[in-house]
């Protein structure tokens, strides 16, 4: 009795063609990360549930994948809660682990736990999957990869500049046109303070965030429905009315928050960044950018690819005290995330992937039988030692099948070695694309391919 093969919703298999392209993206990102002084780490797929809860806001907590305890977990559950079908009350009894929701919170845990092993400021990059119990849709998956770079142990704004440049450089390398949006939580807090609603910053920013979607009137209606005072509703109109370039907008907002100390700090930080960032950076000050994650305290970023109808392809920001939750105070951190799967979709839609043919096998040795194939294997190994991608067809299948295999896998060359060839020491090399075929000695064959070795390997 066989089971129909299937996958949990929102998860996918990755075929070789897809993986080569994903690795292409990842390789470029890693290259940039390393260049800026980041070193790789990994953390487990699962964390203790208590590590993750409460860091992502109410909505985020709901999307955390909880893992069942092992053993007879229901016997530890509270009978009344079970009878009442109160899921949240029994949760602690039945689950104490969860799949990671992002890479930032596990990183904060990692930093505190390994503080004696690492040097501060600590800069790491991390490329791993994360899981969210969300409904999948376009560009949204249950399991997806994040490529993060974070730095902890310094509150220097030089890091903000670095991260913006990393975004710029990475997307330039991948040829994806993007806009890097920037805002600052301190400024948002200042706005809230000036409007006398600092205790409701969350609701306010959520509404503000929708400005480009539902328009000023929509946002004002929402604020009204949520019970905000007229002052706040008017204030949002002033934010919507901001005009001009980044620094002009900043000057206008400065007026609004000048009575707020934290607001002024936000303005200062933004001004510093805007002043010192590379002039050709597609950076856009966006006062409506809020971001849902609770732990951000300073600069916040979001990267969008305007040519593609997709959510953001990256996001990040400054978090002043994420490690405090794990017992290490006064350690400011900042980091950014690249959404690998969305970058992939964007690049696919914009047709930005280079030809990956060069990644595959270059020569296939046809198998005419055990003796012949062992001979071919020796020759293949010699080529492999020259960094030529070579393989011997493992079975002595029909020639038609072996040729077909080479054809389908886009292998440019096939070598035929039968008893006749072994005797004469002359082997048939066939170029699949042109169909041309010529006989070569072993040395000629090795020479032929060593000339074809890509220059990146050739010189050093």
- Which residue ranges make up the site for RNA (CB under 7 A)? 4, 6-10, 57, 59-60, 63, 102, 132, 134-141, 144, 146, 206, 209-210, 213-214, 290-293, 302-303, 309, 311-315, 337, 339, 341-342, 368, 398-401, 403-404, 406-408, 416, 418-421, 428, 430, 432-433, 435, 437
- DSSP character for 137? B
Instruction: State how far the Cα of 286 lies from the Cα of 208, in Å rounded to an integer.
Output: 11
Least separation in angstroms between CB 32 and RNA:
17
Least separation in angstroms between CB 71 and RNA:
25
- Look-up of token digits 């590379």: 278
Q: Which is nearer to RNA, 400 or 459 (CB)?
A: 400
Least separation in angstroms between CB 421 and RNA:
6
Least separation in angstroms between CB 25 and RNA:
13
User: Under a CB-based contact definition with an 8 Å cutoff, are residues 187 and 257 in contact?
Assistant: yes
Least separation in angstroms between CB 318 and RNA:
14
Q: Which is nearer to RNA, 267 or 290 (CB)?
A: 290
Q: Which is nearer to RNA, 156 or 410 (CB)?
A: 410
332 phi-psi bin (left φ>0, alpha ψ -120 to 50, beta other) = beta
Asked if residue 98 has a cis previous peptide bond (ω within 30° of 0), the answer is no
Least separation in angstroms between CB 21 and RNA:
16
Q: Which is nearer to RNA, 271 or 448 (CB)?
A: 448
Least separation in angstroms between CB 75 and RNA:
25
Least separation in angstroms between CB 273 and RNA:
20
Instruction: State how far the Cα of 415 lies from the Cα of 440, in Å rounded to an integer.
Output: 10
Q: Which is nearer to RNA, 201 or 267 (CB)?
A: 201
Tokens of 36: 């800026």
Least separation in angstroms between CB 188 and RNA:
13
Angle, vertex CA 140, rays to CA 135 and CA 145, nearest 5: 120
Residue 212, classed as helix, strand or coil, is helix
Q: Which is nearer to RNA, 134 or 359 (CB)?
A: 134
Instruction: State how far the Cα of 90 lies from the Cα of 162, in Å rounded to an integer.
Output: 45
Q: Which is nearer to RNA, 139 or 263 (CB)?
A: 139
Instruction: State how far the Cα of 451 lies from the Cα of 413, in Å rounded to an integer.
Output: 14
Strands 66-68 and 143-152: unpaired
Residue 167, classed as helix, strand or coil, is helix
Tokens of 21: 């392209």
Residue 301, classed as helix, strand or coil, is strand
Angle subtended by helix axes 246-257 and 230-240, to nearest 10:
160
Instruction: State how far the Cα of 343 lies from the Cα of 171, in Å rounded to an integer.
Output: 9
Tokens of 285: 């000050």
Q: Which is nearer to RNA, 324 or 399 (CB)?
A: 399
Q: Which is nearer to RNA, 38 or 144 (CB)?
A: 144
Residue 107, classed as helix, strand or coil, is helix
Helix (H) and strand (E) counts for the chain? Answer: 19, 16
């Amino acid at each position: 009795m066989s089971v129909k093969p299937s996958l949990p919703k929102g998860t996918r298999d990755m075929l070789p063609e897809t993986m080569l392209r994903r690795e292409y993206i990842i390789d470029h990102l890693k290259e940039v990360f390393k260049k800026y002084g980041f070193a790789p780490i990994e953390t487990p797929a699962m964390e203790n549930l208590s590590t993750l809860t409460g860091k992502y806001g109410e909505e985020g907590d709901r999307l955390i994948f909880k893992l069942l305890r092992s053993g007879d977990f229901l016997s530890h559950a509270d009978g009344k809660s079970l009878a009442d079908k109160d899921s949240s009350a029994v949760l602690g009894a039945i689950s104490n682990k969860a799949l990671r929701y992002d890479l930032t919170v596990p990183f904060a845990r990692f930093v505190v736990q390994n503080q004696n092993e690492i040097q501060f400021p600590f800069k790491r990059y991390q490329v791993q999957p994360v899981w969210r119990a969300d409904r999948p849709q376009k560009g949204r998956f249950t399991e997806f990869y994040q490529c993060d770079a974070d730095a902890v142990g310094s509150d220097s704004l030089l890091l903000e500049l670095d991260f913006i440049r990393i975004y710029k450089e990475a997307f330039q390398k991948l040829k994806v046109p993007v806009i890097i949006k920037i805002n600052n939580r301190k400024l948002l807090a200042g706005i809230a303070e000036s409007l006398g609603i600092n205790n409701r910053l969350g609701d306010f920013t959520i509404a503000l965030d929708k400005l480009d979607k539902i328009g000023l009137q929509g946002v004002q209606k929402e604020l009204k429905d949520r019970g905000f005072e007229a002052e706040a509703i008017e204030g949002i109109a002033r934010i919507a009315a901001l005009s001009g370039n980044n620094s002009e907008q900043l000057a206008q907002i400065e007026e609004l928050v000048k009575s707020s100390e934290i607001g002024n700090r936000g303005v200062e930080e933004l001004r510093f960044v805007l002043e010192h960032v590379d002039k050709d950076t597609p950076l856009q000050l966006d006062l409506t950018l809020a971001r849902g994650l609770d732990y951000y305290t300073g600069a916040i970023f979001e990267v969008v690819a305007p040519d593609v109808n997709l959510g953001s392809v990256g996001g990040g920001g400054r978090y002043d005290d994420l490690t405090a939750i794990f017992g290490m105070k006064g350690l400011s951190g900042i980091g950014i995330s690249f959404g690998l799967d969305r970058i992939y979709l964007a690049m696919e839609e914009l047709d930005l992937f280079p030809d990956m043919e060069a990644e595959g096998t270059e020569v296939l040795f046809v198998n005419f039988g055990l003796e012949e194939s062992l001979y071919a294997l020796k020759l293949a190994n010699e080529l492999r030692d020259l960094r030529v991608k070579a393989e011997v067809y493992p079975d002595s299948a029909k020639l038609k099948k072996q040729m077909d295999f080479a054809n389908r896998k886009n292998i440019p060359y096939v070598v035929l070695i039968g008893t006749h060839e072994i005797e004469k020491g002359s082997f048939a090399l066939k170029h699949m694309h042109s169909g041309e075929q010529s006989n070569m000695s072993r040395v000629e064959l090795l020479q032929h391919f060593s000339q074809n070795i890509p220059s990146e390997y050739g010189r050093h």
